Amino acid sequence: MSYIPGQPVTAVQRVEIHKLRQGENLILGFSIGGGIDQDPSQNPFSEDKTDKGIYVTRVSEGGPAEIAGLQIGDKIMQVNGWDMTMVTHDQARKRLTKRSEEVVRLLVTRQSLQKAVQQSMLS
């Protein structure tokens, strides 16, 4: 998302998701795509087609993620403090679905946020 190397990404949002228990599993209600072992050029949400980060590809209706304010197309950069910009797809999945955690705090960024920040900086 307009990533300039060496500069911190400023347009970020923190999202706190409380996992929902469904039978045996704890679900969060969204789907992820991307990872360093995946093909970044097929990612429809990324601005930069070489970006191998983890993106939210689908948010299920009424799920915990939607309630918490996660939107489709968001890039997840941290999960509970763990970095998600340089992980494989499977590692990302594991970090999100730890059975011991009931709450996950995500650091996400999205393009609309970026634009809003830029506009406010200009004006």
Partner 1 sequence: MDTESTYSGYSYYSSHSKKSHRQGSLLFFRERTRERHKSPRNKDGRGSEKSVTIQPPTGEPLLGNDSTRTEEVQDDNWGETTTAITGTSEHSISQEDIARISKDMEDSVGLDCKRYLGLTVASFLGLLVFLTPIAFILLPPILWRDELEPCGTICEGLFISMAFKLLILLIGTWALFFRKRRADMPRVFVFRALLLVLIFLFVVSYWLFYGVRILDSRDRNYQGIVQYAVSLVDALLFIHYLAIVLLELRQLQPMFTLQVVRSTDGESRFYSLGHLSIQRAALVVLENYYKDFTIYNPNLLTASKFRAAKHMAGLKVYNVDGPSNNATGQSRAMIAAAARRRDSSHNELYYEEAEHERRVKKRKARLVVAVEEAFIHIQRLQAEEQQKAPGEVMDPREAAQAIFPSMARALQKYLRITRQQNYHSMESILQHLAFCITNGMTPKAFLERYLSAGPTLQYDKDRWLSTQWRLVSDEAVTNGLRDGIVFVLKCLDFSLVVNVKKIPFIILSEEFIDPKSHKFVLRLQSETSV
Q: Which of 85, 103, 84, 86 is closest to 95 using CA atoms?
A: 84
Q: What CA–CA distance (Å, rounded) separates 116 from 122?
A: 10
Q: Which of 14, 18, 39, 116 binds partner 1 (CB under 8 A)?
A: 39
Q: Is 31 in the site for partner 1 (CB under 8 A)?
A: yes
Instruction: Map tokens 């830029």 to a residue.
Output: 118
Q: Is 93 in the site for partner 1 (CB under 8 A)?
A: yes
Smallest distance, Å, CB 96 to partner 1? 5
Q: Which of 20, 27, 72, 117 binds partner 1 (CB under 8 A)?
A: 27
Q: Which two tokens stand for residue 22?
A: 């469904």
Smallest distance, Å, CB 26 to partner 1? 9
Q: Which of 38, 71, 85, 111 binds partner 1 (CB under 8 A)?
A: 38
Q: What CA–CA distance (Å, rounded) separates 121 from 97?
A: 37
Q: Which of 63, 69, 67, 58 is closest to 22 using CA atoms?
A: 63
Which residues here bind partner 1, judged by CB under 8 A? 27-28, 30-34, 37-39, 42-43, 57-58, 60, 89, 93, 96-97
